Amino acid sequence: MKIKKIISVLTIISVLGAFSGCGNSSKQADDNITVHIGFFPNITHSQALVGKQNKSFEKAFGNKTKVEWKQFNAGSSEIESVLAGAVDIGYIGPGPAINGYTKSKGDVQIIAGSTDAGAILVSRKDEPIKSVKELANKKVAVPQFGNTQDLSLRNLLNENGLKDKTKGGNVEIVQADNPDIKTLLTTNQIDAALVPEPWGSRLVVEAGANVVLDYDKIWRNGKYPTAVVIVRKEFLKDHPDIVEKFLKTHVELTDYINKNNSQASDIINKQIYNLTKKSLSKDVLTSAFKRITTTNDPEKDAVNEMVDLSVSTGFIKQKPDTKNLINLEPLNKVLKEEGQKQIQ
């Protein structure tokens, strides 16, 4: 009888220990993880740069959660890393975000905005183009086919009765890295370019380029996203608390940048120098910052229009179900807790 009682007690202790062990390992798994954050060394990724410089996300996550920053120069490269599970949360252009959502069949979601506007259309110093219609028979550069600036350009061409040469039109669109666009412009290999800041201001200040359309004339009076925040759906499901802490920090950084523009721009410039070994001149920095809006709003309507543009231009073969492309539930929870207006 005593033996049976001892066995029974030992069994209960064993079961309780098993449950206790499961709980501990689960907590350890959640605490001792590394969050991989993707970003560009660009002022349109302002929250990322200020947050990286000040270790804001590291402080928000606590000592048991590590942060590993992943630097990119092209949206396509970042999306590849997201789809491979090498990036968990990322700052990226809406064009690549849409492509990632489509390719992964919904495994990539937009969870916040980062920057609106911040792109301009310029022409070569000796090519004083006054309007989009004058781009006929010209060569125009964008940083990447299918990215935000490329989609914006194709939309502008369409609105003005023009087309890309590959679609039977007379405007030649070429893709080149932002640093190379300056060389192409100054050596007369292209006539114009639609680029994000600070590259637009650099072309104006350093290459004497003419502004054909300023940031608020490119599209939707400047209410279009240049950068958004994305997350792997699996990461959000497994670590909702970490995503919430990330978004809380993101919202705080947005407020800080908007309320301390001059100080924030200096921090961003310092971080750009740390990452690229090149800083922006004061003229370029001031001009570029005037053309961007730091925000938490991903501009849902504009993103959905970008989906339609991606389909019509052939970058996406078939329009995806966009119902879950933008998930604002985690962000709105944070905004509500912070006493800020929620985003519809």
The DSSP line for 160-189 is: TT--BGGGTSSBEEEE--HHHHHHHHHTTS
pLDDT at 146: 86
| Cα 109 from Cα 161, distance rounded (Å) | 34
pLDDT at 221: 92
| Cα 36 from Cα 258, distance rounded (Å) | 26
Residues 142-159 pLDDT 10s: 998 988 899 999 999 999
pLDDT at 242 over 80: yes
pLDDT at 218 over 90: yes
Residues paired with residue 229 on neighbouring β-strands, in sequence order: 91, 112
pLDDT at 22: 44
pTM of the model: 0.86
pLDDT at 31 over 90: no
Residue 330 has φ and ψ, to the nearest 5°, of -65, -40
Residues 35-50 pLDDT 10s: 999 999 999 999 999 9
pLDDT at 270 over 60: yes
The residue extents of the domains of the chain are 27-116+225-337, 119-222
Rounded average pLDDT over 65-70: 96
CATH of 119-222, one of 3.40.50.1100, 3.30.930.10, 3.40.50.300, 3.40.190.10: 3.40.190.10
| Cα 173 from Cα 166, distance rounded (Å) | 9
Question: How far from chain centre, in Å, is Cα 194?
Answer: 18
- According to CATH, the topology of domain 27-116+225-337 is D-Maltodextrin-Binding Protein; domain 2 (3.40.190)
Instruction: Tell me which H or E stretch contains 58.
Output: helix 56-61
Rounded average pLDDT over 271-285: 93
User: What's the pLDDT band for 30 if we cut at 50, 70, 90?
Assistant: low
- Classify the C-alpha dihedral 103-97-218-119 as positive or negative: negative
Q: What is the mean pLDDT of the chain?
A: 90
